[in-house]
Structure 1
Amino acid sequence: MGRKAGSNGQRTAAAIRRVGLRLIYRRGFEAMSLRELAAEVGIQAASLYNHIRTKQDLLFDLIREHMEALLAQTDAALGAAPAAVSERLYAFITHHILYHLEKKQEVFIANFELRALEPSHYATIVAMRRAYEGRLIALLDAGVAAGEFEIRDTRVTAYAILAMLTGACTWYKPEGRLTKAEVVELHTHMVLHGCIGRLPGAADPRSTRPAGVRTA
């Protein structure tokens, strides 16, 4: 495939990331070669080094950009949500699921190629993942403090919630019987009703939900 007429550095750099993401997702980081990447982009292999230093740097940049987008968009979703903890948790769940269903390649690579990162890159990404997990843990802690949630261990609960929500990426199919909105609804129902425990004197949790949240 020949180089496209009129291409420039910015477009080529974007193409390298886009094609690199697809090839790593399809073939795995170790199996993907820079020669293959260059051929798919339509440039000479030597020209790749005008845009990336190494294959390792490309992987790191792809995962880092994914985590930066996830953190920024999550903060925006939480900032736009009502003040009630249950509403903020609803916003977190909704954004997490929709983002992960729409970014399946990025999510897969961030989870399964994390081990391929060199130590300094690995530490950077793990710190970003901890920051993301911290958003959810803080919500659960706030819900417990406000008496809205009954949770024995908010950290373990956060890990369980994230595993369940992210797991939708592995089975959801756009052509399947559930829409994205229905997937969100089912998961928010499970999470919210799992967190809203039966405190002494509290109403039945099956009748307790934030405004605008329909039960599945």
Structure 2
Amino acid sequence: MKLSEKKILRKKEQILLSAIEIVNRRGYSGATMEEIAAELLMTKGSLYYYFKNKSDLMYQCHNFVLSQGTEDLRDILNRGEGSATEILVKMIATHMEYAIEEKEVFNLIMEPKRFFNEEQLELVLKLRKEYENLFDQIIKRGITSGEFRVEEPFIERMIILGAMNWVQQWYNPDGRLVKEEVIEKYTKSILKILK
């Protein structure tokens, strides 16, 4: 890769990180290309050099967060440190961190058809399938080792991800429970489903 290509990739990543922060702060509809450009001390026109429009930028943000999450979960799974239960606990904590910290961008996962065009949607769904498959793998590993007693791993995975994704609908960082307590309570409840 040429130095100029690396520089463009670094700048694009910097834009994505700022856009993610703004979307998490203001929501999808509240985040504007103007605000993102201003935060980066660049013109709106310069922003359009990297992204066709707001939809493209939001797709790239979603893809960036989901790719990072997938990579993090894959690393946890591939390291294989501990029992299936211990690995799943780490995966739950990682997923919950993303769901809480990247709330608005993560929310795009909930209704991808609403935000993405057909081409983007196809890629998003492929990446989501890869992400879900990591949970399938650890659940099956737990069944094989005798740690988990479930009949339908697919249904259990859907229940687990559905419950974890819903946290972004109700969690309030200023509420009664801090993030770590929420993650701990979710983890205990999820493990009860599997045991």
**Shared fold (TM-score, shorter chain, > 0.5):** yes
> Partner of 2:172 in structure 1?
173
Task: Give the secondary structure class of the aligned counterpart of 2:172.
Answer: coil
How many angstroms does 1:143 deviate by? 1.6
Looking at structure 1, the residues matched to 81 and 95 of structure 2 have their Cα atoms a distance apart, in angstroms, of: 17
Q: Kindly, what percent of the aligned residue pairs are identical?
A: 22
How many angstroms does 1:170 deviate by? 1.9
Q: Is the 8 A contact 1:16 1:37 kept in 2?
A: no
Determine if the alignment matches structure 1 residue 49 to structure 2 residue 38.
Answer: no
Looking at structure 2, the residues matched to 113 and 107 of structure 1 have their Cα atoms a distance apart, in angstroms, of: 10
Looking at structure 2, the residues matched to 16 and 82 of structure 1 have their Cα atoms a distance apart, in angstroms, of: 32
RMSD: 2.9
Looking at structure 2, the residues matched to 16 and 191 of structure 1 have their Cα atoms a distance apart, in angstroms, of: 32
State the TM-score, normalized to the length of structure 2: 0.79
> Partner of 1:161 in structure 2?
160
- 1:154-173 CA distance string (max 9 Å, x none): 10110110011121222222
Higher relative contact order (CA 8 A, sep 6+): 2
Looking at structure 1, the residues matched to 93 and 17 of structure 2 have their Cα atoms a distance apart, in angstroms, of: 27
The ranges of structure 1 where at least 4 consecutive aligned residues each deviate by more than 6 angstroms after the TM superposition are none
Letter in 1 for 2:160: I
> Partner of 2:4 in structure 1?
none
Looking at structure 2, the residues matched to 32 and 193 of structure 1 have their Cα atoms a distance apart, in angstroms, of: 39
State the TM-score, normalized to the length of structure 1: 0.73
Structure 2: runs of 5+ lacking an equivalent: 1-6
| Structure 1 residues 22-61: aligned runs within 5 Å | 22-23=22-23, 26=26, 28=28, 34=33, 38=37, 43-61=42-60
| Count of aligned pairs between the two proteins | 188
Looking at structure 2, the residues matched to 186 and 24 of structure 1 have their Cα atoms a distance apart, in angstroms, of: 24
> Partner of 2:84 in structure 1?
85
Deviates more, 1:46-55 or 1:187-196: 46-55
Q: Is the 8 A contact 1:20 1:37 kept in 2?
A: no
Q: Is the 8 A contact 1:93 1:188 kept in 2?
A: yes
Looking at structure 2, the residues matched to 45 and 125 of structure 1 have their Cα atoms a distance apart, in angstroms, of: 26
Letter in 2 for 1:18: S
Sort the Cα spacing of 1:92 and 1:127 in 2 relative to 1 into closer, same or farther, 3 A: same
Sort the Cα spacing of 1:82 and 1:34 in 2 relative to 1 into closer, same or farther, 3 A: closer
Letter in 2 for 1:103: E
Letter in 2 for 1:90: V
Task: Give the secondary structure class of the aligned counterpart of 1:125.
Answer: helix
> Partner of 2:65 in structure 1?
66
Structure 1: runs of 5+ lacking an equivalent: 1-7, 197-216
> Partner of 1:105 in structure 2?
104
> Partner of 2:14 in structure 1?
14
> Partner of 1:149 in structure 2?
148
Looking at structure 1, the residues matched to 13 and 78 of structure 2 have their Cα atoms a distance apart, in angstroms, of: 32
Looking at structure 2, the residues matched to 98 and 27 of structure 1 have their Cα atoms a distance apart, in angstroms, of: 18
Letter in 1 for 2:48: Y
Letter in 2 for 1:47: S
How many angstroms does 1:178 deviate by? 1.5
> Partner of 1:4 in structure 2?
none
Looking at structure 1, the residues matched to 21 and 113 of structure 2 have their Cα atoms a distance apart, in angstroms, of: 14
Sort the Cα spacing of 1:102 and 1:53 in 2 relative to 1 into closer, same or farther, 3 A: same
Looking at structure 1, the residues matched to 16 and 193 of structure 2 have their Cα atoms a distance apart, in angstroms, of: 43
Sort the Cα spacing of 1:162 and 1:36 in 2 relative to 1 into closer, same or farther, 3 A: same
How many angstroms does 1:18 deviate by? 2.1
